[in-house]
A = this chain, B = another copy of it.
Amino acid sequence: MTTPASTRSGGLPYSPIRKFVPFAQEAEACGKKVYYLNIGQPDIPTPVSFWDGLQAIQKKVLEYDFSQGNPLLIDALKDYYNAQFGVDLAHKNIQITNGGSEALIFSFFASCNEGDEILILDPTYTNYISFAHMMKVTLKALPLSIENGFHFDDAYQLAPLLTKKTKAILLTNPCNPTGRIFTQKERESIVKFASDNNLFLIVDEVYRNFVYDGKQETTFLEYAKEYDNIIVIDSLSKRYSVTGARIGALITYNSEVLETSLKLAQARLASGTLDQVASAHMVRCCPQADLDAIVIEYQRRRDVLYSSFQNIPGAFCHKPEGAFYTVVKLPVKDAEHFAQWLLESYSHKGATTFVAPARGFYVTPGKGLDEVRIAYVLNCDAIKSAVKVIEEALKVYKG
């Protein structure tokens, strides 16, 4: 007799980004070319400095690193924040984590008891929903609309969502999935609102450097000396195109949050030593010009994507200002069905396109049903072809 598993497993969603992977594999097995616009896996080469850092490792025993993180990596990040933003961090303010994911889990645990609430803007990064579920935290969403560019007046729009259980606000900036970037005025209103209501402010800045049209990189850590309840989630995965090295960080001046994070980190012993040592070298040595060139390339891709969608009747593509995602409204009833159909039943010139249904990026039920999230992580030609697949598909799709 099979023992019943826990019922809390039930509320956990499959990743909307990854759940159609078997269909994509099947499509490839049938000889179709698949354009992967479903996942933020850039095609940009990992910096040479990462591979150099790896090559230089001369260890006989691949030992546990420190639970807090490799000291060289912590120092490299400390210097990066200082040089780039004038933010003055101590070694103890940085907890290295297994990607940004683990930093989020630590933040949820440290800020909220079971049943506490975190305010977010909808749509949001889908995995927040899973982490909240794991940590028994409720996400309360302010829904924004694609029609007006996911516009957000002011943090005080969040006020009606406040309850006695509200403990934090969680934002991504630049935003996955919308590509929105907060203006300085918005950032200030968010910090003020958090401070007025004594809330933790968790900001996921893993796309920090992907800002277009001459905009400046920013970090909420610039406000953290005055308001120490700010927790920044960082990751090297996207900035350096090194997603396979699972290196993130939780950064804060809040000593209670740091203490809890270190205890959680000690329980799981350490992050990977090789990834940390190679990353430390990369953060120190990767030329800024190389990173800037990558951002210029993404801006080009963004432009191609955006203009390609202008020709598709009934489709509406939000123009992102940063990150490398956008949300697109399609003239279909059920974008999830459409996404699966693209992989299972459609091809154009032997190719099809893999997009993520946007529904899974909304906490608010019923939102995003006719929207998809697109990661523009392929070169411009591939993006053109991938959108052409969608254009042709919509002409024949019956829904």
Contacts and interface: CB of A to CB of B under 8 A. Distances in A.
Contacts of A257: 5
Interface in A211-243: 228-229, 241-243
> Top 7 closest A-B pairs, CB basis?
A244-B273, A130-B267, A5-B256, A9-B260, A15-B266, A62-B244, A101-B268
Contacts of A136: 114, 136
10 contacts: A2-B254, A3-B229, A5-B110, A18-B67, A46-B59, A46-B62, A98-B246, A98-B268, A101-B269, A272-B275
A64 B39 contact: yes
A45 interface: yes
A13 B167 CA distance: 23
A286 interface: no
Contacts of A41: 63-64
B244 A6 contact: no
Interface in A262-316: 262-264, 266-275
Given A15-B267, A63-B244, A134-B267, 19 more contacts: A2-B228, A2-B229, A3-B229, A5-B260, A6-B116, A8-B114, A14-B262, A15-B263, A18-B266, A41-B64, A99-B269, A102-B268, A105-B268, A114-B136, A136-B136, A243-B270, A245-B272, A246-B271, A274-B275
A131 B110 CA distance: 14
Interface residues of A, number: 81
A12 interface: yes
A267 to B, nearest CB: 4
A60 B42 CA distance: 11
A290 B268 CA distance: 28
A185 B223 CA distance: 63
A198 interface: yes
B113 A6 contact: yes
Given A5-B110, A12-B264, A111-B6, A65 B244 contact: yes
A16 to B, nearest CB: 10
A109 interface: yes
Nearest to A240: B62
Contacts of A260: 5-6, 9, 12
A259 interface: yes
A272 B272 contact: yes
A130 B67 CA distance: 14
Contact of A263 (B60, B130, B244, B272): B130
